Structure 1
């Protein structure tokens, strides 16, 4: 893939690893480009995707500050657009995405975790939207996705103060879904991803799309969207197999 991003498959589960441990997996332009390529390569083949960082210290410690410090206004605009494109690709990936937050997740790293469907944190994880102390604001979706995940007051505190929260506090705030022992993180997330990959693919993709649309539509529009998705799954192999298996009291054999 590249020297900064690895994409690996284990059956139907893909793992995208940001591999710049010497820079705490900070995201510069080539790394973002490699992530975009990896996400495109995984589409269609992965029934679940894990996103994580290499090494034992960081998930993604943020955007590359040494690079940002040299940027012109025009370059910063392009960098912002590139970051948004990657986060949007994670959010709209056609299969569930799990962020395995194995260490520092600041700035753009926090935003990467926010773009995932599910977040599992190592007990060593520390998470924060820390941009304010650099004289900037979150620029890859943090001001929007954070509010929707943890609520207005908590998001404002995190963004205004640049607060960093440890794994347990992140759990209590609803920023992550669970916290596990650091040494158990990879196995735990791999088991979750395998369970998701075994679910009916089209129904799971529809479920993700419907939940994502809850943030984009009003309730009436969202309910109409849900009805169309629901009825559209009837007649598929997985719908027939799932209901038949239930009635026959056996395990379903989904495609």
Structure 2
């Protein structure tokens, strides 16, 4: 597939996806959502990729939201389809085998915040802004915002953001646990790459199963989550990586994990 709205670059075992619509502040139209979906599907099937970084192009925006110009004239049926298209992408990112790091380099509003929340880790630049402005447009968050935001920051804070349409800065997002770390804008991507490299150096099967346990566990009761954890914990003992990793630890040496 030829991409017109995104870029995919590779650094060793890391893939960097850049949403490339800077004139539109990287707004998510249907074409961009479809390209992202296709790109993430390709990465999911690529065993050489151990971590993914998602960011936006330009100086101002990660993703400023869904494309209002495209949405404004939709019928209810078309709006449902558009919401489902967004959900498909967000769920794909959330369940991607590889961890996904959002490098939020500016506005993450509406669909942009929903996109970042689907990622496993969120790093923000000091100029980043976050918000869910949908009710101010007569609609509501339709790409998972009403579901993921309460799970991340609690229902009270989520309700405040979703109902007031307030936009918060990176410091406030960090205080409420919406982002993991904040960096100067010029350092953000480098820091994201460093974190991705650190993750990539670990046993890839164990990393993937850890992500799976986290994501599944958020929607299970504690006992069910523990049962799933025990199953994937057991799976790691069938891998060469587990044997080599434990031997290296006991011998006080290191090992290069092969994903086997």
Aligned to 1:216: 219
Deviation at 1:44, TM superposition (A): 3.2
Unaligned runs of 5+ in 2: none
Give distance in 1, aligned partners of 2:24 and 2:256. 44
Give distance in 1, aligned partners of 2:189 and 2:225. 35
Given candidates 204, 209, 215, the residue that maps to 2:207 is 204
Give distance in 1, aligned partners of 2:189 and 2:208. 24
Which stretches of structure 1, 4 residues or longer, exceed 2 Å deviation after superposition?
Answer: none
Q: Check if 1:90 corresponds to 2:93.
A: yes
Given candidates 115, 118, 138, the residue that maps to 1:115 is 118
Per the normalisation by structure 1, the TM-score is 0.98
Deviation at 1:252, TM superposition (A): 1.9
CA contact (8 A) 2:201 2:256 kept: no
Give distance in 1, aligned partners of 2:89 and 2:36. 7
Give distance in 2, aligned partners of 1:232 and 1:106. 39
Give distance in 2, aligned partners of 1:31 and 1:150. 28
Per the normalisation by structure 2, the TM-score is 0.97
Deviation at 1:99, TM superposition (A): 0.3
Give distance in 2, aligned partners of 1:19 and 1:199. 30
Aligned to 2:192: 189
CA deviation vs aligned residue, 1:101-138 (integer Å, no higher than 9, x gap): 00000000000000000000000000111111111111
Q: State the number of aligned residues.
A: 255
Aligned to 1:240: 243
Give distance in 2, aligned partners of 1:235 and 1:221. 22
Aligned to 1:18: 19
Aligned to 1:72: 75
Deviation at 1:235, TM superposition (A): 2.6
Aligned to 1:126: 129
Give distance in 2, aligned partners of 1:164 and 1:135. 17
Q: Check if 1:33 corresponds to 2:21.
A: no
Give distance in 1, aligned partners of 2:19 and 2:56. 5
Q: Secondary structure at the residue paired with 1:174? A: coil
Q: Secondary structure at the residue paired with 1:127? A: strand
Give distance in 1, aligned partners of 2:238 and 2:81. 45
Q: Check if 1:249 corresponds to 2:252.
A: yes
Q: Secondary structure at the residue paired with 1:2? A: coil
Deviation at 1:214, TM superposition (A): 1.5
Q: Check if 1:157 corresponds to 2:160.
A: yes
CA contact (8 A) 2:17 2:54 kept: yes
Q: Check if 1:43 corresponds to 2:35.
A: no
Unaligned runs of 5+ in 1: none
Give distance in 2, aligned partners of 1:235 and 1:155. 41
Q: Check if 1:5 corresponds to 2:9.
A: no
Q: Secondary structure at the residue paired with 1:199? A: coil
Deviates more, 1:228-237 or 1:203-212: 228-237
Give distance in 2, aligned partners of 1:138 and 1:88. 15
Give distance in 2, aligned partners of 1:42 and 1:229. 22
Give distance in 2, aligned partners of 1:151 and 1:243. 38
Q: Secondary structure at the residue paired with 1:216? A: coil
Aligned to 2:180: 177
